[in-house]
A = this chain, B = another copy of it.
Amino acid sequence: MGSDWHGIFPYLVSPIDEATGAVREGVLRALVEHLIARGVHGLTPLGSTGEFAYLTFAQKRELVRIVVEAARGRVPVVAGVAAFASRDAVDQARAFVELGADGVVAVLQRMFPLDEAGAEAYFRAVAEAVPCPVVVYTNPGLIGGDVTPAMVERLSAVPNIEYVKDASGETGRILSILNRCGDRIKVFSASAHVPLLVFELGGVGWMAGPACILPAECVRLYDLARSGRQVEALALQRRLWRVNEVFQRYSLAACIKAALTLQGFDVGGPIAPQRPLPPAAHEETAAALRWIGEEPGAR
């Protein structure tokens, strides 16, 4: 293979019209344009920030189609594949690649307990179904179950499983993965914890929801880290973390959607039965954005 994805990949929200269920195409195209203009290195629709579990297959396809078209090949589009059943995941992966996605980020949803071999079979099935690079996404908190470093090591033997996106929140796991897999797999940080540290440990980039609303700052963090400007990077990391603390207190998708609305992107609220942010949280979000220097409405 040999893709070279790296840097900041914002997780896109899914702007869905509440009354009709239709994708709000205009605002999604505007958001893609905005993010690319701010220097992001890739785009990932259908992540957890994208409320993947709340979308129908038809909505998922529509979202990928729009993002691919709007990106116009300027940055890679890596679409989220999320399913309980292997067949469902394979169908998603194929559909997204047909629509022009450059790769997929695969996550396994769980209901019944599953042993490691079963979970690995799921990721292998996705990888075999598509000719493009695959990112294995671990997120024990949200999804249940876990993809352990030992599983990552075994999956790294699959040629097009080139990346892992670790959202375990444990930075030590990244060392474990790198110690085990060496060059056979590249690590994206998923948690907003401390991407700076992930860069230092050898991670190639950061895929996360907050990059959707602070793209320039995230890109700058990446650039500072790459060029060894450690002190400035750390200062910026501390500032970014303060914004992230606000988002930790509330539901992620609701927060990112509220912040984008403040920035002039009318992406709507979270998909029901999720509820919009309460007013106090709106104000906290606005205050955090002002504080970080990204004036709401300054777009």
Which residues on A are within 8 Å of B, measured CB to CB? 21, 48, 51, 53-57, 84-88, 108-109, 111-115, 117-119, 121-122, 125, 142-144, 169-172, 175-176, 178-179, 191-194, 197, 200-201, 230, 234, 237-238, 241-242, 244-245, 251-254, 270-275
Contacts and interface: CB of A to CB of B under 8 A. Distances in A.
Most buried by B among A56, A57, A111, A237: A111
28 contacts: A48-B111, A51-B112, A54-B84, A85-B271, A85-B272, A85-B273, A87-B272, A111-B143, A112-B251, A112-B252, A115-B275, A117-B275, A118-B273, A118-B275, A122-B273, A144-B144, A169-B169, A170-B170, A171-B193, A171-B194, A171-B197, A175-B194, A176-B241, A179-B242, A197-B200, A200-B200, A200-B230, A200-B234
Given A85-B55, A197-B194, A238-B178, A114 B170 contact: no
Given A54-B111, A201-B234, 8 more contacts: A21-B87, A51-B112, A55-B85, A86-B273, A111-B143, A125-B273, A171-B197, A172-B193
A70 B113 CA distance: 32
Q: Give the oligomeric copy count.
A: 4
B125 A172 contact: no
Contacts of A55: 85
Most buried by B among A51, A87, A251, A273: A273
Most buried by B among A21, A118, A197: A197
Nearest to A111: B53
A51 B270 CA distance: 27
Given A87-B272, A172-B191, A272-B86, A142 B111 contact: yes
A172 B244 contact: yes
